[in-house]
Structure 1
Amino acid sequence: MKKNFVLFLTFNSFLALNAQNVEEKIAAKACECLEKSSKITEDVFRDCLTKPMGELILTDKDPKVRESINTVEGIQGMILRVQGIISKKCPNLVPEVIENKDNIFYSESKDKNAQNSYIIAKDFMRQNNYKMAVESFQLALKSDPNFVLALDDIAVSYRQLNDYDNAIKYYKKSLEIYPEGNFALMNIGVVYTLKSDFKTAIGYYEKLIQYHPDNAEGYFGAGKNYFMLKDDEKALDNIFIAHIIYTNENSEYAKDSEQLLGAIYQKMKSENKEDLFKKIAEKNNVKIE
């Protein structure tokens, strides 16, 4: 049964990719609009995305494409997928604020002592000596308390030592400095999942989706935690989007999303909810025969 479902998902992933045609058209129109703008702000970016979206979807001959935006979730999912395509089709036209923040916050420390201690700490991490790594990261942070890379990596080290409370403490400090930090948002979600605090984990994964809508990890993490809370519908909405992104990127993680979809399918089938599974699949532009 499990093997059959893998084949089923692979086939429907192909159908999902075909359903991306309208999203590709929207992204192309958005890129054309952005090229005409002298200064690309987040407002201009949003306008160039939403205008062609309304025009192309409402005039599409396929009724299922029009039906895909009949819900708030459908609209949000469409916007997020199109944003992901735009970031690949015309990355130089994405607002500078979005593009440059990682370069600013995920950079070396300007304090030489902090940077030297950080380099030593990373060496300890490579040796799996996380206790010594923590000590060196502490020295780095003493010299530069706003050193985001050191905050993120000391949190990783604490997590490896199963000290989840300190890991969370430092991820939160990192997010106070850089709220959009994808590394901290993704990994604090992981730690809360390990602590079985699934609701809090979802909150951070949804922030990751908000700031990085083309990052499949946000959807996958949220979906996994919704599944743990037995909210199968929200789990599916998120995992389908993650699976589409992973598949489009030819990511090896598509196997993980496919496996989780298989688990949800088997659970819902055993509960006589197979029709609901298919309905949610179709809402996410995945047609199931």
Structure 2
Amino acid sequence: MKKKFILLLSFAGFLTLHSQTIEEKIAAKTCECLQKSSNITNDIFRDCLTKSMTEQIFTDKDPKVRESINTVDGIQTTILRVKEIVSKECPKLVPAVIENKEDIYYGKSKNKSAQNFYIIGQDFMDQKNFKLAVESFQLALKEDPNFVLALDDIAVSYRQLDDYENAIKYYKKSLDIYPEGHFALMNIGVVYTFKSDYKTAISYYQKLIDYHPDSAEGYFGAGKNYFLLKDDEKALDNMFMAHRIYTESKSDYVKDSEQIIGAIYQKMKSENKEDVFKKIAEKNNVQIN
């Protein structure tokens, strides 16, 4: 009888010692980045902060750096504290108002006709009638070409119709208007995965990570595609991050990340790479029982 392999994952508690030093390093890099721009917008500020944070986390030799963002709260707290430090260290480089773009771009259309056609399209989506949904969303976009929700949902409808090219076309239109759109970035990655274009899928998931470092979907999507590309180490690194966030948020998707981590383990074990697996686990503050 074959013994069923069970991979038990548990996360060690992370220390907050020296966390302020980590945040100061990220803030310093952020200020340096901002100094290169003559006109600092909210987009530039966000880009500098997220790129500085990613660079510091993945290049710093101190393992406590990685541990500090191994939870959803850890990521969010780090971002907030870095913003506070940047505001003190280089106040002239901080935009006056940091707007909530999701409220702006994921809101209703100001055009009543566009909004009405959009609601009709959603009803057709609920009925699984994606052809009529597409027609309704097209009418909404004729009235309001910059209606992000309609662009996202017409892309979803095309994907359901297995029309991947049109799905990609409309996700890209959505991202032209709202580059950090969580929904479009996540789903265009899914479409490219369906097309077996794993490298392009990863590029969009990386953007999702850059814009939304506290979201598990970017890490999960990147990890899955790296695994399909047989890059087990990058796959595992990203999947541990996704699993951490899913666990912290008590998401049902934790089972999906566990399954893929188990598959990566079995593959690496068969290739005599258990030590590499354990090393990556340790880096991500994960205990293997």
Indicate yes or no: 2:102 matched with 1:87.
Answer: no
CA RMSD for the aligned pairs?
A: 3.6
How far off is 1:83 after superposition?
7.4
SS of residue in 2 equivalent to 1:22: coil
2:18 and 2:183 map into 1 onto residues whose CA distance is: 28
Contact 1:199/1:225 (CA < 8 Å) preserved in 2? yes
1:76 and 1:226 map into 2 onto residues whose CA distance is: 24
Taking the TM superposition and a 5 Å limit, the aligned residue runs for 1:47-126 are 69-70=60-61, 77=66, 81=70, 84-85=73-74, 87=76, 100-126=100-126
2:199 and 2:144 map into 1 onto residues whose CA distance is: 33
2:214 and 2:61 map into 1 onto residues whose CA distance is: 22
Indicate yes or no: 2:257 matched with 1:257.
Answer: yes
CA gap of 1:196–1:246, structure 2 versus 1, over 3 A, is same
1:154 and 1:23 map into 2 onto residues whose CA distance is: 48
Q: Equivalent residue for 2:39?
A: none
SS of residue in 2 equivalent to 1:109: coil
- Gaps spanning 5+ residues in structure 2: where? 28-41, 85-94
Residue identity matched to 1:186: M
Name which structure has the greater RCO, CA cutoff 8 Å, separation 6+: 2
Corresponding residue pairs, total:
255
CA gap of 1:190–1:285, structure 2 versus 1, over 3 A, is same
Please identify which structure carries the higher helix content. Answer: 1
Residue identity matched to 2:287: K
How far off is 1:98 after superposition?
6.3
CA gap of 1:242–1:279, structure 2 versus 1, over 3 A, is same
2:3 and 2:113 map into 1 onto residues whose CA distance is: 54
2:160 and 2:203 map into 1 onto residues whose CA distance is: 23
How far off is 1:80 after superposition?
5.1
1:158 and 1:23 map into 2 onto residues whose CA distance is: 50
Q: Equivalent residue for 2:30?
A: none
Contact 2:186/2:218 (CA < 8 Å) preserved in 1? yes
Q: Equivalent residue for 1:22?
A: 16
Indicate yes or no: 2:3 matched with 1:5.
Answer: no
2:186 and 2:17 map into 1 onto residues whose CA distance is: 26
More displaced stretch, 203-212 vs 279-288: 279-288
1:124 and 1:26 map into 2 onto residues whose CA distance is: 51
Residue identity matched to 2:174: S
CA gap of 1:255–1:109, structure 2 versus 1, over 3 A, is same
1:268 and 1:116 map into 2 onto residues whose CA distance is: 53
**Aligned residues: percent identity?**
64
TM-score normalised by L of structure 1: 0.77
How far off is 1:87 after superposition?
3.0
